[in-house]
Structure 1
Amino acid sequence: MNVKAEDPDLWNDPEAAQKLMRERQQLDDGLTSIRSVEQRLTDNIELIELGEMEDEEQIVAEAEKALGDLNDELARRQVETMLSGEADANDTYFEVHAGAGGTESQDWASMLLRMYIRWAERRGFKTEVLEVHDGEEAGIKSATVMIKGHNAYGWMKTESGVHRLVRISPFDSQARRHTSFASVWIYPVVDDNIEIDVSESDVRIDTYRASGAGGQHVNTTDSAVRITHLPTNIVVQCQNERSQHKNRATAWAMLKARLYEVELQKREEEAAASAASKTDIGWGHQIRSYVLQPYQLVKDLRTNVESTNPNDVLDGALDPFMEAALAQRVLGEAAKEAAG
């Protein structure tokens, strides 16, 4: 690959050159990481041997702790080896939509929005809120956020589905227990080298006045843009910029990303998942339950992974759930290949 990268004629085809350089960088990063792990392993084993020879318990304890941290890091990297799908390395969009139930579900949708933003922050990813539709009393009706970071889509792709909350409602004067639903939809940001053709005759473009915070200009001009893809009934919208032109460009990118995700799902023979956004947001379609009262438990209904600390999960501690769902998907795909 280094020989190809040094070929003076490489950049005669910029698209192929960029692809080659990306692959080269990924390989280089991988090799550097492996060498770093090997060196840290060797160094700490030598420290333990030295500490035992010199009867230095503190040195031994520190080296053993370092080896424990290294083991945890390798476990995380092992999960990342499962992120080898076509778009797994890409940035991602995620949408949150409140289910039926008014203020209750809208408040739950805002909690989910915060949860995923906190998860992204924990991983060092950047987030950009593209649109938010506030609820009448509290919470949100919907929101769309872009998460930027290596493997962002790969990590989040199993989060699409309905999320169920059980709690004592803060909006109920009689302090009764309520069940609320909200849906999450994940789809990858499309790379420049992926071409998605969308005919303008297949879309309806609407402009409207942006809602929520954003300054007087945002709230008094029709700068927000909504694009509906008529053949699939996919709807995307953007209102984060003051310029209608910029919002339109972002909405087009989001639409292409949604259409690309549908195509990916078809190729993976997961048409049922691609239809999830059209199902009722309620019983029978949930992927995870979050119970705050009468007991505390978060349970993934696909993998049976549980946590008895909902506050931690709602503050972004989602990796165990994502890791298990990714592993389940990889095993399922392997089983399909073996059967085929």
Structure 2
Amino acid sequence: MQEIEAEIAREGFWDNPDATTAILKERTGLSQRIEAFKGLEKDLEDAGILLELAVEEDDAGTLAEVSGQIGELGRRMRQLSLDMMLDGVDDQNNAIVSINAGAGGTEAQDWAEMLFRMYLRWVEAKGFKSTIVDFQPGDEAGIKSVTFTATGLYAYGYLKSETGVHRLVRISPFNASGKRHTSFASVFVYPELDNTIEVDVEEKDLRIDVFRASGAGGQHVNKTSSAVRITHLPTGIVVQCQQEKSQHRNKDMAMKVLKSRLYEAEKRKQDERMQQIHDGKDDIAWGSQIRSYVLHPYQMVKDHRIGLDVGNVNGVLDGDIDVFIEGVLLSRKA
């Protein structure tokens, strides 16, 4: 922290506003952790004093109060421990989340929408903000794909473990015979890059197409060619944005998503061997099944990476996924 403060105090530090962003962001994160630790230290000391008084006076009411305080302190200590594990280069960044329905038509598209709702609920519960970048509605129900940003400190650090294939088993609501059906959807999570991280994208490597937006979006939809699709020719990565009325704003957002995906693709190449050494297998690679959500013949959500089973399926689908995120973080730091 002292080194950061010394850098900020250095003459000429504020001459380049773009270069200061990462350092100021790091200072904010460290300051929050230091304040959280100091707060825990003080509250733990206060609880200890109150416990001594309660024992001396044999005060059952005060003992119950201290017990509640200790439970809350335990929760805060666990949260701080988890925050300390988010020490990756991009962990403190905002996240870009893409959800794509697998094969299976309406069933898979409905499942993709259920996952989308689950993540929006989680974002809301964390006090983060979400913004839709691209939304492709399903043919009859659900969604074919959606991309959105989760804005908040360490959003990427938490959500990066959600990358992979999610499997749903249930009685089909779209089949009159009431047969059990298995659906798949994929989730990709990328860090949103700030202006201090440069990704070299040359115009000659891009194909930019404009088209009329489709789906929900207001009166401008289907009237003007405001939607933008960008194809990065060397890698074949395709991104598009159609949520804004302005073609210019859609292009800016699409470029932001493209740069994030190119950055993450390059970062995966560099980390591939380390990931294999660390995990013994590529647990979070595209195509891997990380979690199953079973609604029939029993109710259970199972994370296959850490072997964790949770019976409260409705709670999970309402955004209560911290137990899985924390479990994966802890297992990787063990």
TM-score (norm 2): 0.92
Q: What root-mean-square deviation, in Å, do the aligned CA atoms of Structure 1 and Structure 2 show? A: 1.8
Partner of 1:102: 105
Secondary structure of 2:238 counterpart: strand
Distance 1:322 1:34, change over 3 A: same
Q: 1:298 aligns with which of 291, 298, 301?
A: 301
Partner of 1:282: none
Partner of 2:269: 266
- Structure 1 residues 183-192 or 261-270, which shifts more? 261-270
Q: Percent identity?
A: 49
Partner of 2:180: 177
Distance 1:256 1:274, change over 3 A: farther
Shift of residue 274, structure 1, vs aligned partner: 8.3
Cα contact 2:160–2:190 (8 A) shared by 1: yes
Task: Return the alpha-carbon distance in structure 1 between the equivalents of residues 229 and 285 of structure 2.
Answer: 21
| 1:152 is the counterpart of 2:155 | yes
Cα contact 1:167–1:291 (8 A) shared by 2: yes
| 1:139 is the counterpart of 2:132 | no
| 1:229 is the counterpart of 2:235 | no
1:257 partner letter: S
Partner of 1:78: 81
Partner of 2:167: 164
Note the residue ranges of structure 1 that are not aligned, 5 or more in a row.
280-284, 332-340
Partner of 2:117: 114
Task: Return the alpha-carbon distance in structure 1 between the equivalents of residues 190 and 116 of structure 2.
Answer: 15
Cα contact 1:262–1:274 (8 A) shared by 2: no
Distance 1:62 1:260, change over 3 A: same
1:169 partner letter: S
Task: Return the alpha-carbon distance in structure 2 between the equivalents of residues 251 and 199 of structure 1.
Answer: 15
Shift of residue 17, structure 1, vs aligned partner: 4.1
Q: 2:53 aligns with which of 50, 53, 63?
A: 50
Secondary structure of 1:166 counterpart: strand
Per-residue Cα deviation, 1:288-329 (whole angstroms, up to 9, x for no partner): 111000001110111111101111111111111111222333
Cα contact 2:305–2:328 (8 A) shared by 1: yes
Partner of 1:196: 199
Superposition map of 1:27-38 within 5 A: 27-38=30-41
| 1:320 is the counterpart of 2:333 | no
Task: Return the alpha-carbon distance in structure 1 between the equivalents of residues 332 and 14 of structure 2.
Answer: 38
Cα contact 1:96–1:185 (8 A) shared by 2: yes
Shift of residue 233, structure 1, vs aligned partner: 1.4
| 1:21 is the counterpart of 2:24 | yes
- Structure 1 residues 156-165 or 229-238, which shifts more? 229-238
2:225 partner letter: D
Per-residue Cα deviation, 1:20-42 (whole angstroms, up to 9, x for no partner): 43333333322221111111101
Partner of 2:279: none
Distance 1:63 1:275, change over 3 A: closer
Note the residue ranges of structure 2 that are not aligned, 5 or more in a row.
277-281
Aligned length: 324
2:261 partner letter: R
| 1:66 is the counterpart of 2:58 | no
Task: Return the alpha-carbon distance in structure 1 between the equivalents of residues 233 and 283 of structure 2.
Answer: 20
Task: Return the alpha-carbon distance in structure 2 between the equivalents of residues 183 and 56 of structure 1.
Answer: 55
Shift of residue 48, structure 1, vs aligned partner: 1.5
Shift of residue 205, structure 1, vs aligned partner: 1.3
1:32 partner letter: E
| 1:90 is the counterpart of 2:108 | no
Q: 1:308 aligns with which of 307, 311, 320?
A: 311
Task: Return the alpha-carbon distance in structure 2 between the equivalents of residues 273 and 224 of structure 1.
Answer: 35
Secondary structure of 1:247 counterpart: helix
Cα contact 1:265–1:274 (8 A) shared by 2: no
Task: Return the alpha-carbon distance in structure 2 between the equivalents of residues 174 and 27 of structure 1.
Answer: 57
Task: Return the alpha-carbon distance in structure 1 between the equivalents of residues 209 and 333 of structure 2.
Answer: 40
Shift of residue 219, structure 1, vs aligned partner: 3.0
